[in-house]
Structures are given as C-alpha cells and as structure tokens.
Structure 1
Amino acid sequence: MTEKPHINGIMAQIGRIREHAALFIEQELKNEEIHGILPAHGIVLFFLFEQHHPVAMKEIVEKAGRVKSTVTGMVNTLEHHGYVEKFQSPEDGRVILVQLTEKGRSIRHAFESISGRMLDKLYGDMPQADRVKLVDQLTQLLQNLKGA
C-alpha cells in the first residue's frame, strides 16, 4: 500500500512560506519608505511597470489570475495611495483603464530590488535546476486544483 503524504504537509508549508515572504516584503517596503502597498499588490504593479499605455482592468485581472473583485480592490487601494489612476475609456465608457502615476513609476527600481532580494532569500543556494523543477511541480499542483 502506498503511503499518502500528509495533506497538511504541502498546504501548511505553502502557507508558512507565503507568510514569511509577506513579512519579508512588508519590512523591505518599510525600509524603502514605500507606504500603502501590500505584497499582494506586486502582481498588479509588475504588470503595470511593463506597460507603456493605459490598460483595461480586464487585462490586469487576466494577468493576475485572481477574481475581478480582488483585483479591483487592489487597484482601488493603489489609486487611493496615489500609485495608479483609473479612468473610463474614451472609446467605450464601460471599460475602465488603469495606468501608473508618476509616484507609481518612481517606485519601480525599489520594487524590483525588493523582488530580487526576496528571490535570493527564498532560493538561497538551491541549484538552478532544482528551482526550475520546483516551479514546474508547483505549477502542476495548481493545474491539478484548477482541473486542467
């Protein structure tokens, strides 16, 4: 009989990794004197850093892979703190466009630096081949949960 891995093993480890990563990022943001941003906002900001024009909220939702209400909440928080601005599309009033403000663009270097430090800390001295294998395995777990 094959022994099943303890269900709390992987889920508990992922939860602890996420918690420690969030604490690290929060401290680094504080050290950089960047306020009003949570680790979860990173997916939105990194996507917007790569854009050269306003993008539809729908594109951000698709890129983030999160539900619309979650992304809307993140964008609203970023707007409240002055990192992004939202406005209606001139071509289609139903479409909300989002773009970085000057304040949002100004944190790009610090944000990328924090991300690099996070990855260095996360992976430590893990060989590159193991890093790739780990990401592939986690991707497979996600696909399994999504029913792909």
Structure 2
Amino acid sequence: MNDKYIVYFISRTRKKMISFIEKQLLENGLDGLIPSHGNILTALYENNGKLTMKRIAEITGKDKSTITPLVNKLLELGYITKIKDQTDKRVTYIILTSEGNRIKDKYKAISNEVYATAYKDFSQEEKEIFLKLLKKINNNFNSTT
C-alpha cells in the first residue's frame, strides 16, 4: 500500500460521512440540522439535557467560538434553550427543550446507521485497532498546533 495517500483517504472519508449524515437528516425530517450539531446534541443527551457552554466545548473538543453559532442555530430551531445560573449570572446553561428530546430517537437511529455503515464488515478487533491508529494519527498532530 502506498502510505502517501492516508491524508487523501481520511479527507475523502470525512466528506462522504458528512454527506451521508446530511442525507439521513433530510430523510428524517430534521431540516436545519447539520452534522456538527450532532456533537452538541450527543453531549446534552448523555448529560441529562443540561450543560454549560464551557462544558459542551470541553466534551466536544471545540472552542467556545466554534460552539456558539452551532448552539445559536439549535436555539433558533427550538431544540435547546439558554438559562442563566441563579447564583452566578456569568454561567449560562444550555438545556434541551421538549422538541430537542422529541428528536432523540431519530437522532440516535441516524447515529446507529452511521456506525453500522462505517464499521460494516469490521470485526471487533479491527474496530479497536482502527480506533487506536486514528487516535495515534490525531495525537501526532497535537504537538504541531
């Protein structure tokens, strides 16, 4: 195998996965959502539907400046709301609305379809090795940023 194509294949795979997710979102009537919203929704679903912006940024590994427009779009779509902390007005909580909770099953079904497609014909051992290698590549770039 010619290893000089690794960046090409990572890039192409990312593009195909994003297209796949966008198609799934449209087919499931989740217009307005984009793949980047998935990390925020997942963080909220896994944390009782309530997190600070700072914590969302930590969980998703993104800057608050990147998270802010995504959160604002979710707010506009009615999937979340913002509430100031009663004791510390500097802290804002992002909370799932009933609409945000209503789409949870659709969202999880899309996530499951993404994983099923991505790991089709992978053994458990191959999944573990693949993840380990991707993490290794990712970590190699940590020292360069």
In structure 2, the CA distance between the partners of 1:104 and 1:127, relative to structure 1 (3 Å rule), is same
Name the counterpart of 2:135.
139
Name the counterpart of 2:24.
28
Normalising by structure 1, what TM-score? 0.91
Normalising by structure 2, what TM-score? 0.93
Amino acid at match of 1:62: E
Cα drift, residue 85 of structure 1: 0.6
Whole-angstrom distance in 1 between the partners of 2:48 and 2:40 = 14
Cα drift, residue 36 of structure 1: 1.3
In structure 2, the CA distance between the partners of 1:22 and 1:122, relative to structure 1 (3 Å rule), is same
Runs of 5+ unmatched residues, structure 2: none
In structure 2, the CA distance between the partners of 1:132 and 1:17, relative to structure 1 (3 Å rule), is same
What do residues 56-89 of structure 1 show as CA deviations (whole Å, max 9, x unaligned)? 1100000000111111111111111111111221
- Identical counterparts, % of pairs: 31
Amino acid at match of 1:112: K
Runs of 5+ unmatched residues, structure 1: none
Name the counterpart of 1:11.
7
Name the counterpart of 1:83.
79
Which gives a bigger RCO, structure 1 or 2 (Cα 8 Å, sep 6+)? 1
Name the counterpart of 1:121.
117
What do residues 96-126 of structure 1 show as CA deviations (whole Å, max 9, x unaligned)? 1101111100111111111111111111111
RMSD after superposition: 1.5
Whole-angstrom distance in 2 between the partners of 1:54 and 1:40 = 18
